Amino acid sequence: MVLNRSYMRSLSNRQIITGLIILYALVRVVSFLTYDNYGAQGVIAVLLLGSFIYFCIKNISLAWTILIGEILLDGAGHFFELKGLILRTWFLGIFAVIWLVQKIRTKTWPDLPPKNVYRSMAVFGLFLIFAIVNGSLRHHSPIFVAQDAILYLFFLLLFPALDAKNIFQPIRSSIIKTFIIGSTVFSAITLFLYSSGLAVLTDPYYHWFRNVAAGKITDLGENFFRIVLPEHLFIIPIILVIAAYLIRQTKNTKLWILMICVLAVLALNFTRIYILGLVTGLLILFYRENLKKWLAVSAITLACLLVIFCSLHLITSRGQSVGLELLGLRVAGVQTPVSDPSGAIRLALLPDIFRTIKNSPLLGSGLGTTVTYIDPVTKEKLTRTQFDWGYLEMIAELGIIGTLAYLIFLLTILYNLTRTTYNDPAASEHYPLGRGLLAGAVALFVINITTPALFQGFGVIYFVFIILVSGACARLPGEPLRTSKPL
C-alpha cells in the first residue's frame, strides 16, 4: 500500500493521463485488429489476466485501482474475451476471490457503510435473491438471469471500495479526464470515418463497433451520424459535476475545455432522454446557489451544446445544413414517437410489457424476463431482454415491491449525500462535487424512464461512488464510527 501511494505521488497528473490515454487507444486498436482472431484474443486475455493476478497477490490496492480503471475506461468490457467470458468478468471474479482470501487471512471485517445504507441494501438483496430464483423457476435463460443479476451485484464492489478509497483518490480525476478525452476522440474519429465516406455501415469497423464496443452508429442523413456507446451514461453526470464546479469557478479555462469535450460527445450521442436529464440536473444545481452564476453556467452549457451540434452537422453536411430540421424532428419525437423509428419500437414493446406486469405485479416475473413485439418496420415478431422502459423493466422483473425496495435503497444513498453535502461543514471542500453528483443522480432517475440507467452496470457504479464521496465510513449523527476490527 505504501509503495502504491509513493509511486502515484512520483507521477504527475499529466503523465498519468497521457499513459491512460495511450492505453485507452491501444486497447481499442488491438481489439479491432484481432476482432476475428480468437487465438490472438485468447493470448492477450491470458497475458492480461496473468498480470492482474500478479498485482492482486502483490498489491491488492493497486489491483483495485486497475480494476476501477478497467471498468471506467474499457467501455462495455468486450474488447478481449476468454472462454466466452469478457475480461471484466474474469477481473471481478479474480479480485473478489483474492480480496476475500486476504480478508480471511488478516482476520478483519471490511469497512461498512452507514447503517441506513447497508440495511436498505440488505433488504433489497433479499428481493434480488428472490428475483434470481423466480426467474430460474420460470425457466428463463440462465445466461439472461446471470446477466441481469451481475448488474445489480456490482454494488458488492462497495466493500473493497471502502477499503481502498484512499488509494483510488490520487488518480480519480486522472481517470475521469482520460474518460472524457478518450470518449471525445473515439466518437469524433467514428464520425469522421463515416461522414467522410472512408467507412460504410456494413464494413468490419461497424460490426466491431456494434458487437464488441456495444455501440450504435445511425445514419441521420446528410452525412451526419449518431454515435452511441453504453459508457455514455456517465456523460450527463460528468457534465453536471463540471457545471457545479464552474458555478464556483466560472473563469476556469481547463474546466470549460473539459465541458466542451463532454458536450461534443453528448451532441453526437443525440439521445433525447439524456437532454431531458441534463436540463433536470441543471435545475437541481440551482438549489442554494447564486442565481446569476447558476443561470450563466446553465445557459452557456446548453448554448454550447447547440452550437457544437450545429457546427458538427454543418461540417459533415459540407455546409448544406446546420441540422435544425433534424433537431426539430428529434424533439417532436418526444411528443409523437410513432414518427421516430426508436420511438415506434418503444411503443410496440408496451403491450407485452404490460401483459407481463399484469401476470405478476407485486413480485415480478424474475430476472431474465424477455419482451416480445412486432417490429414496426420489418413486421417480424422479435424477442429481446431490453425493454427500453427502465422502470417498467424493473417492475416486470422485481415486481412493485422489489422495485420499491431498490428505489428506497438508492434514495437512502442520495439522502446521505444531501445531508453530507449541504449540512456538514467538514465536507465544504467537496461541496461542488457533492452537488454535481446529486444532480447527476437525479438525472439518472429521469434517464431511467427509457434507459436502464439505475440498474445498468455504469449506473450502479455511479451510486457506489456516491456512497464513498458522501462519507460511507464516516459517522452519521448519532451513529458510532465503525472501522476494521478482528473477526
Residue-wise pLDDT tens for the chain (487 aa)?
A: 444 444 444 456 778 888 889 999 999 999 999 988 888 888 998 999 999 999 898 888 788 888 888 888 888 878 888 777 788 888 888 888 898 888 888 877 777 888 899 899 999 999 999 999 999 999 999 989 988 998 898 898 888 888 766 555 657 788 899 999 999 999 999 999 999 989 998 899 999 999 999 899 988 888 899 999 999 999 999 999 999 999 988 889 999 999 999 999 999 998 889 999 999 999 999 988 889 999 999 999 999 999 999 999 999 988 888 888 777 655 555 555 444 567 788 888 999 999 999 999 999 999 999 999 888 877 788 888 888 898 999 999 999 999 999 999 999 999 999 988 887 555 455 678 889 999 999 999 999 999 899 998 889 999 998 998 886 334 443 444 343 333 3
Domain match, 331 and 344 both: no
Asked whether residue 153 is domain-assigned, the answer is: no
Whether residue 226 sits in one domain with residue 124: no
Indicate if 469 and 341 belong to the same structural domain: yes
| Pair 341, 326 in one domain | no
Say if 204 falls within a structural domain.
no
Burial of 228 per CB tally in 10 Å (0-12, 13-18, 19+): middle
Name which of 470, 465, 471, 475 is nearest 444 in CA terms. Answer: 465
* Whether 314 and 419 share a structural domain: no
Q: Both 312 and 428 in a single domain?
A: no
Phi and psi at residue 323, to the nearest 5°:
85, 10
- Look at residue 85 and give its three-state secondary structure: strand
Among 309, 335, 361, which residue terminates a domain?
A: 335
Question: Among 297, 318, 335, which residue terminates a domain?
Answer: 335
Q: Classify residue 73: in a domain, yes or no.
A: no
pTM over 0.85: yes
**Final residue before a domain boundary, out of 335, 365, 380:** 335
Helix extents (H) in 288-388: 291-316, 324-335, 341-359
Distance CA 56, CA 48 (A): 12
Number of domains in the chain: 2
pLDDT, residue 472, reads 39
Q: Considering the domain boundaries, does residue 26 fall inside one?
A: no
Q: State the cell numbers at 330.
A: 428529434
Residue from 176, 331, 334 nearest 258 by CA: 176
Residue 77 maps to a domain: no
Q: What is the pLDDT of residue 486?
A: 33
286 and 392 in a single domain? The answer is: no
C-alpha span between 369 and 80 (Å, rounded): 28
Is 277 within a domain?
Answer: yes
Report the distance separating Cα 362 and Cα 366, nearest Å.
11
CB 199 within 8 A of CB 193: yes
Nearest CA among 134, 35, 66, 150 for reference residue 360: 134
Same domain, 321 and 424: no
Q: Are residues 354 and 284 in the same domain?
A: no
**C-alpha atoms less than 13 angstroms from C-alpha of 65 in its C-beta half-sphere:** 22
Please state, in angstroms and as integers, the Cα–Cα distance from residue 335 to each residue in 306, 318, 329, following that order.
20, 31, 10
d(CA 72, CA 154): 13
- Asked if the structure places residue 237 within a domain, the reply is yes
Residue 485's CB: how many other CB atoms inside 10 A?
9
| pLDDT score, position 333 | 54
To the nearest 10 degrees (0 to 180), the angle between helices 324-335 and 272-285 is 80
* CA-closest candidate to residue 364, choices 151, 144, 130: 130
Q: Which of 232, 300, 318, 240 minimizes the C-alpha distance to 268?
A: 232
Q: The cell 436498505 sits on which residue?
A: 120
* CA neighbor of 53 nearest in space, from 81, 95, 23, 83: 95
- Domain range for residue 389? 110-139+337-475
Domain match, 439 and 425 both: yes
Query: Cα separations (Å) of 323 from 224, 225, 311, 333, 463?
Result: 9, 12, 9, 15, 36
- The answer on 325 and 265 residing in a single domain is yes
309 and 341 fall within a common domain: no
Count of C-beta atoms within a 10 Å radius of residue 66: 18
Helix (H) or strand (E) holding 119: helix 115-137
Residue 414 placed within a domain: yes
The three-class DSSP label of residue 227 is strand
